Chains A and B, each alone.
Chain A
Amino acid sequence: MNGGWRALLRLLAVQGTWNYERMLGVGMGYAAEPLLEDLKTVDPVRHGEAVVRSAEFFNCNPNLAGLALGATVRAEYEAVPGAQIARLRTALCSPLGALGDELFWAGLVPALAGLALAAIALGAGWWAVAGLLLGYNLVRFGTAVWALRTGYDAGMRVGSAISASWVPSAVAWIGPVAGAAVGLAIPLVAGWYLRGIGWAGGLGSLAVALVGASVSRWFGPSLTSVRFALLAMALLLLFRWVGL
């Protein structure tokens, strides 16, 4: 696979042109360019068609985009009919989106952020920040290399390769780890702040937390946590201004 490392680096910017029309499409085309270079000399017409297809609509979790990129580039070199490649791209959107979002956004990120929050509350300071960055990026880069290689090796059979890979089982266990890490962090962070404020202030803060959790549950998406916080702050300023 010539141009693999360049494609890998370009995949870091796969969302650089994120938009509501093609979503990751143009970013995928940008990442595909070094991989498709050899096709230009072999079959220039096919190369032109492949470039067009590479930048068409595509969406998935950016960390697993390499699977689709590798698979479609391999299919282009194997002269698979264009319509079939387009169908493969479309078919990969949902599974790669769902698996990647579960693995990274709902799993790894809250797990590492929860552990980092707990570590800061326990006095780790910079080490916690470094651990979060190192842990995430090791997994992320490792996944990116694996995804591009696996996609390229599997070609049109990438679906089976994903099912047989470590990803589905990792998705199953990362969720509970994330839950435990965030659960651990909440009381430790609360203690870290409230120790410096005193018991009366601490109780006040916990009351705000309880009200926030309750109203967010009742009002759902119309009262997000950020809106609740801003509303509570505005009310406090108003009450203080009128002398309460």
Chain B
Amino acid sequence: MTGLASHAVVLLLVWGTVVAVDLVSVPQAMLSRPLVVGAVAGWLAGDVEAGLRVGVVLELFALDVLPIGAVRYPDYGPATVVATALAAGAPWELGLGLSVGLGLLVAVLGGWSLQLVRRLNAHAIQRRAAALAAGESRAIRTLQYGGLLRDAARGLGLTALGLLAGWALSRWLVLDRQTAVGLTLVAVGAGLSAVAGGAVRSAGRGARLKWLVAGAVAGIVLAVLR
């Protein structure tokens, strides 16, 4: 990661901000799915393979999340940008585990930061309560643009902090091969347990469970045939 060009870092910061805003605020076009974030971040960092490998593992974790209502959930967008930047340029078996670990930490931090932005939005609304009660359209627009700006600032700050942590790890943390591969095995295994646990929970005991099992059998057959 220490080898990333400065323009690549700037583009990663912009991409991290865009995907952070996409998660909740605008446009919710699924740009923030780790799979999408990883592929684009990998391309920006010059290593699409690393982006896809990181994106797929974090997507396994993201599939365990049901973003309903006021629930607190990790923000995997900037996390995937950071993890991909850390993994770029290294053989994926060695770089994946550590970068996914950092990505998960950034994702949790992202979830907290989202709560903070929601509280700040509530404070802003309280401050303009009189204007809202008077039916001033301008107050609504100001609140809306303020909320979007806060979320963008959150995304930018989160991505910058994560990239800084990634840079520090790549500069000062030296892992031997066994440990690096071990972390990768743990990351992949934990990701698989996350997606399987989430899928079984969502399936309940109805038709969806039968289709889940049918899909898994088809997947096993395809995986063996390949």
- Chain A interface residues (CB < 8 Å from chain B): 12-13, 15-23, 26-27, 29-30, 33, 47-52, 54-55, 59, 62-63, 97, 101, 105-106, 109-110, 112-114, 116-118, 120-122, 125-126, 128-129, 132-133, 136-137, 140, 175-194, 196-197, 201, 204-213, 216-217, 224-226, 228-230, 232-233, 236-237, 240
Nearest A residue to B23, CB-CB:
A15
Number of B residues near A (Cβ < 8 Å) is 101
How many residue pairs at the A-B interface have CB separations less than 8 Å? Answer: 313
Partner of B92, one of A21, A106, A196, A217: A196
Whether A229 contacts B212 in the complex (CB less than 8 A), given A18-B147, A188-B223, comes out as no
Contact A13 B27 (CB under 8 A): yes
| 0/1 interface trace, chain B 105-135, chain A, CB 8 Å (1 if under) | 1011000000000110110111000001111
- For residue B6, CB closer than 8 A to chain A, the reply is no
Partner of A33, one of B28, B137, B182, B220: B137
Contacts of B2 in A (CB 8 A): none
Nearest B residue to A37, CB-CB:
B137
In the complex, what distance in Å separates the CA atom of A216 from the CA atom of B193? Answer: 9
In the complex, what distance in Å separates the CA atom of A30 from the CA atom of B148? Answer: 12
Contacts of A136 in B (CB 8 A): 29-30
In the complex, what distance in Å separates the CA atom of A32 from the CA atom of B100? Answer: 42
Contacts of B118 in A (CB 8 A): 18-20
Contact B189 A19 (CB under 8 A): no
Contact B211 A176 (CB under 8 A): yes
Q: Taking the nearest CB of chain B, how far is it from the CB of A90, in angstroms?
A: 15
Contact B125 A17 (CB under 8 A): yes
